[in-house]
Structure 1
Amino acid sequence: MRIQISFLGAGDYQRCRYQYNGQIYETPYFHEAAQHFFGPDRVLILCTPEAAQKHSAALSDSFEAISIPSGKTEEELWELFTVLTEHVPEGATLIVDVTHSFRTQPMLALAAAYFLRTVRSVQIEHIVYGAFEARDAATGEVPVFDLMPFVQLINWSVAVHQFVHYGQSKDLADLIKDVHKTTYLTPNAKRAKFAAKAASSLKRFAQGLQLVRIQQVHQELAPQLLEALDKVQQDVQTLPSLRPLGVLLDQTQKRIRPLGAAHPSTREGLKSQAALIQLMLDFDLVQQAVTTAREAVVTRYALDRGENPCEKREALERCLGALSRGLQDKNQCDQYSAEERELAELWNTLSNIRNDINHGGMRPHPIAEDKLYKNAREVVQKTAAWITRQADEAASPSSG
């Protein structure tokens, strides 16, 4: 169902000729013009009792008048929000007219429409404004502006927030792809050259983090993303619709650059793994950080023993497990060096947390979620420091 939402104030409206996409409609009331231009199934007129009384002639049977407060207090603003949300059903398509709105009403209408888009799958088709102050003095025609770009800016804000804070790139990648596609569908438009590749690289990088593709992130996904973001700057400079991405480029490149490593299973590569662990924590990908940290311990342990970290990892894990179990044997534990004891305790804590997470707490005495979250972040940060310590701080190669 297509629903037009219009506001009607208590002001004096002059008769004028509204113009939209080559159509002209003459009326003092823009909601009448909007109904003519867009042909909605329903038209809701939000107005105060004073406005309804003054402009009763504008409220014919084809419109549904809905009483709203004037919005003089915060409570009245929330009441207006409630009125808006109560009259818009699931899956509706909205045409929002803010021409005769008053004070904070346009901002509230936009916020409510966006909220409904999220919680009720509402689509926003148009946000329109009949710009009386921009009328043509010669013809008396008043242009009608579609303010949908402001909604698109909100879309960018939300998508960027999701990526910057949580590493979720789907919405951001979709916006970039839409811009790329639009440039090829719009006649005579400047065409994007690198936006589609940037979108694809963002999506693959985020998936690599979520699915803990450690080597792939270091050797392929991070370098490809850096290259794609570097190239897409050319599109940002020529396409105004990509400018929101431009604000994000430097910050993202700065966060991704430390991840590039041709050989992640080396001492130098472990610095990149530590950066990856920190990025996962920044994105609140705690489970993924725990998994990455555990694998990094195996790698560093192998290097300290002079072994190839890409071979016999299961055997190396068994050695670490035996070292960890030695903590329960006082005689064996007393023989540990300080470095061996540190490694045993680290592996014991890390494995216990990893197992509790990966088994969904389906085991005796699972850790409470708040304590698990806190402990996981702490042990992962401790692991990042351990895997990047200097060579002369290494645990004894004979350990285990």
Structure 2
Amino acid sequence: MSSAKRILLTTISASPRENVNYQFNNQVAIASQAPVALIKLLPIHELPDKVIILCTQKLYDEQYETVRNLLLEYYDQILCNTLNQRPDVTEVRIPDGRTVEELWQILEAVLHSIPHNCELTLDVTHGYRSFPFLYFTAALFLKALRGVQIKAVYYAMLESEETEKPIIDLSLLLDMVEWFYATRIFHHTGQASPLCELLRPLETPPAGVTGKDNAPYQLVKSIRRALENVSAAYAQALPLELGREAEQLLRRITQPIPRHMEQKVPLATELFGSISSFAGSFALPATRQRRIRIKEVELNLSELTRQSSIIDSYLKQGYVNYALGMIREWMVSCAMWNQMAEESIYRVDWWIGHKRFETEHKFAVLARTAYKADGNTTRDIITPEQRWLASKWQFFSDKRNQLAHHGFRYEYVLHSPQQIDEIRAQWEELKSFVSSKPHWNLEIKRGQGTLLLSPLGLSKGLLFSALHHIRPDEVFVVTSEESAISIEEITNRADWSGRKYVYKMKEPFTGFAEAKTISRELQNYILKSDRIIANITGGTTAMQYVIQQVTQDLRLTGIETEIIAIVDRRTPAEQVETPYVPGEIIYIEGQGRLNPPPND
């Protein structure tokens, strides 16, 4: 039994009828005022602990004391053999309600008179015609913000032609408002908590209901759980999980609505239709698989359109952070789809991390290449469509990163309405090219020739042997300030006169972290060659490490890179004394094609 204080909020008639027969719960009570009849007809366990009577000055002067005495007299009769105390019967003075200002004063008086977390019963029989609206407004406020439980809203039908005037419970109207509000919240925000709380009481069967008779209640429970899952997936911005959970929700709410639910839920068909319209655009195609959490989703235009509708919803509702995160992933998916060969159009592993990482890395390379394009080195490498794509990737990545770090950046990142409008405009433009393959081409047109990547330490012979055997068009040397002095001598002795690019490590022995810097520096030269060979021998351990890391980065972008090692079987002393003797070349990975040295 609830320990919350039970309160009856009522008003009284200025012109009471004598000896009216009020009927409630198949019982009849005679009274001149509805609240007196209601107190007589309520079960003892539902009687209020406090009765609050709203009174104008006239009502207080002419009717209040009479009604108060009748109420207390009845309580004395039924409680004389119990330990219960008499209720507190009190009045709250209100104006006549003839102006808007007075109506606000009445509403304020009602709200101030009702404590938090009580059980409230309303009697709306008497009073001005505006009172029911005030009661309902107050009830919604109290329930939403003060934890007040509305137990009933009683109205005595005095206008009825019947001898016995029925007292009916209008709380269904409040329930209807709550259902409408909860459905609206779900439709506008994706949050299902209010709906789930309303559904929860309807999933508990009455005592003794078992077997097939319990099925309708189990269906309500499954609907509630499906709503929770859809709401969670939407709140966590998980498009694949959302699609699967939305599909499961649609399966359940398209079944016939249980009869006990129709009796409790106003306009249940229309409400479920609104839920379906929200979840329907996000749902994946129906599947018969039992393990619905398996993400076997085909990547096609329909799937991209489904995901774009989720992004549209986030932008419409103001969830800019979710939208930006999903737009970036959508771009990766769209690029993968546009790059798919016809025979692989039904691939189902497009959502796996390492496959997406390859595409993301290509986006990063394209963006860096477009950013560094100065009209000289990369003018003919990047197409106009690729420049467009690179700008979109950079724009959405920057916006996404600003919010992903929750403002922990130097700049002030709160997005203004104008900035959000720009995001929407950029997104609409991006969507319009979803099927245009030239706009999603990540393959950068490269030049011709061979580029050799090689470390250089104090041993001159390894770079010499690599140049002698490979005969590259260009060489990118990772070395130290001290060893860089030997490069000119080495190239002369190898009779090699190609283009040289030199990166001098700040920390030749411990500069392992310089790999990223070297990788970025190398991008300008990679695009000029169609063959990349990496020599992993020579120099310090740190130099060899960065060459291997650069090679790995290149392969992640789809640029095939051959890996070689140079072996000199002579003694260390001989290698130092006569360094310019070609050693052996070993192809560790790659095609192993040698360019002939001059005069061979």
Q: TM-score if structure 1 supplies the norm length?
A: 0.87
Tell me the amino acid that sits aligned with residue 385 of structure 1.
Answer: S
Q: Which residue of 2 aligns with 1:276?
A: 310
5+ long unaligned stretches in structure 2: 73-87, 286-295, 342-348, 446-556, 558-600
Q: Which residue of 2 aligns with 1:211?
A: 236
Q: Compared with structure 1, are the counterparts of its residues 254 and 19 closer, same or farther at alpha carbon in structure 2 (3 Å cutoff)?
A: closer
Note the C-alpha offset of 1:361. 0.8
Q: Which residue of 1 aligns with 2:16?
A: 12
Q: Which residue of 1 aligns with 2:67?
A: 58
Note the C-alpha offset of 1:156. 0.5
Q: Which residue of 1 aligns with 2:105?
A: 79
Tell me the amino acid that sits aligned with residue 87 of structure 1.
Answer: S
Greater relative contact order (CA < 8 Å, ≥ 6 in sequence):
1
Once residues 317 and 226 of structure 1 are traced to their aligned partners in structure 2, the CA distance between those partners, rounded to angstroms, is 34
- Note if contact 2:53-2:90 (Cα within 8 Å) is conserved in structure 1: yes
Note the C-alpha offset of 1:152. 0.8
Note the C-alpha offset of 1:136. 4.7
**Within 5 A, what are the aligned runs for 1:163-242?**
163-181=186-204, 191=216, 194-218=219-243, 220-231=244-255, 233-235=256-258, 239-242=262-265
Note the C-alpha offset of 1:191. 4.4
Q: Which residue of 1 aligns with 2:36?
A: 32
Once residues 189 and 46 of structure 1 are traced to their aligned partners in structure 2, the CA distance between those partners, rounded to angstroms, is 45
Q: Which residue of 2 aligns with 1:150?
A: 173
Deviations 1:170-226, CA, capped at 9 Å, x for gaps: 2223323433436778999994563332222222112111112222223x2122122
Q: Which residue of 1 aligns with 2:461?
A: none
Tell me the amino acid that sits aligned with residue 315 of structure 1.
Answer: E
SS at match of 2:416: helix
Greater Rg by CA = 2
**Within 5 A, what are the aligned runs for 1:333-352?**
334-335=379-380, 336-352=382-398
Q: Aligned to 1:128, which of 135, 139, 154?
A: 154
Q: Compared with structure 1, are the counterparts of its residues 319 and 189 closer, same or farther at alpha carbon in structure 2 (3 Å cutoff)?
A: closer
Deviations 1:346-372, CA, capped at 9 Å, x for gaps: 111111111111111110113233255
Q: Which residue of 2 aligns with 1:107?
A: 133
Q: Which residue of 1 aligns with 2:93?
A: 67
- 1:294 paired to 2:317: no
Once residues 357 and 17 of structure 1 are traced to their aligned partners in structure 2, the CA distance between those partners, rounded to angstroms, is 67
5+ long unaligned stretches in structure 1: none
Q: Which residue of 1 aligns with 2:432?
A: 385
Structure 1 or 2: more helix by fraction: 1
Q: Which residue of 1 aligns with 2:357?
A: 314
Tell me the amino acid that sits aligned with residue 232 of structure 2.
Answer: Q
- Note if contact 2:8-2:48 (Cα within 8 Å) is conserved in structure 1: yes
Note the C-alpha offset of 1:243. 4.6
Deviations 1:94-131, CA, capped at 9 Å, x for gaps: 11111112211011111111111111111111111222
- Note if contact 1:361-1:367 (Cα within 8 Å) is conserved in structure 2: yes
Note the C-alpha offset of 1:78. 0.8
Q: Which residue of 1 aligns with 2:450?
A: none
Q: Which residue of 1 aligns with 2:56?
A: 48
- Note if contact 2:183-2:275 (Cα within 8 Å) is conserved in structure 1: no
* Identity value in percent: 22
Q: Aligned to 1:324, which of 361, 367, 382?
A: 367
- Note if contact 1:180-1:192 (Cα within 8 Å) is conserved in structure 2: yes
Tell me the amino acid that sits aligned with residue 270 of structure 1.
Answer: L
Q: TM-score if structure 2 supplies the norm length?
A: 0.60
Q: Compared with structure 1, are the counterparts of its residues 184 and 190 closer, same or farther at alpha carbon in structure 2 (3 Å cutoff)?
A: farther
- Note if contact 1:306-1:397 (Cα within 8 Å) is conserved in structure 2: no
Q: Compared with structure 1, are the counterparts of its residues 2 and 243 closer, same or farther at alpha carbon in structure 2 (3 Å cutoff)?
A: closer
Q: Which residue of 1 aligns with 2:118?
A: 92
- 1:118 paired to 2:122: no
Note the C-alpha offset of 1:77. 0.9
Aligned residue pairs total: 394
Tell me the amino acid that sits aligned with residue 158 of structure 1.
Answer: Y
SS at match of 2:254: helix
Once residues 109 and 237 of structure 1 are traced to their aligned partners in structure 2, the CA distance between those partners, rounded to angstroms, is 28
- Note if contact 1:20-1:144 (Cα within 8 Å) is conserved in structure 2: yes
Once residues 395 and 191 of structure 2 are traced to their aligned partners in structure 1, the CA distance between those partners, rounded to angstroms, is 29
Q: Which moved more, 1:248-257 or 1:114-123?
A: 248-257
Q: Compared with structure 1, are the counterparts of its residues 11 and 113 closer, same or farther at alpha carbon in structure 2 (3 Å cutoff)?
A: same
Once residues 337 and 190 of structure 1 are traced to their aligned partners in structure 2, the CA distance between those partners, rounded to angstroms, is 62
